[in-house]
Amino acid sequence: MSDSHLDQAVLASLQDVMGAEYPVLLDTFLVDSDERQRHILEACEAGDAQALRLAAHSFKGSCSNMGAPMLAVLCRQLEEAARRERLDEAPDLIEQIGREFAIVRILLKSERQRYR
Q: Residue 4: its pLDDT value, please?
A: 86
Q: Which residues are CB-contacts of 105 (< 8 A; sequence separation ≥ 6)? A: 30, 33
Number of H-type helices and E-type strands within the chain: 5, 0
Ordered structural domains, the chain, with CATH: 8-113 (1.20.120.160)
Which SS3 state, helix, strand or coil, does residue 1 take? coil
CA distance 81 to 90: 7
| SS percent in the chain: helix, strand, coil, step 5 | 85, 0, 15
pTM: 0.94
* Per-residue model confidence as pLDDT tens for the chain (116 residues): 456 899 999 999 999 999 999 999 999 999 999 999 999 999 999 999 999 999 999 999 999 999 999 999 999 999 999 999 999 999 999 999 999 999 999 999 999 998 87
Q: Which residues of 75-111 are buried (b: 16+ CB within 10 A; e: fewer)?
A: bbbbbebbeeeeeeebeebbebbeebbebbeebbeeb
- Do 87 and 81 form a contact (C-beta atoms < 8 A)? yes
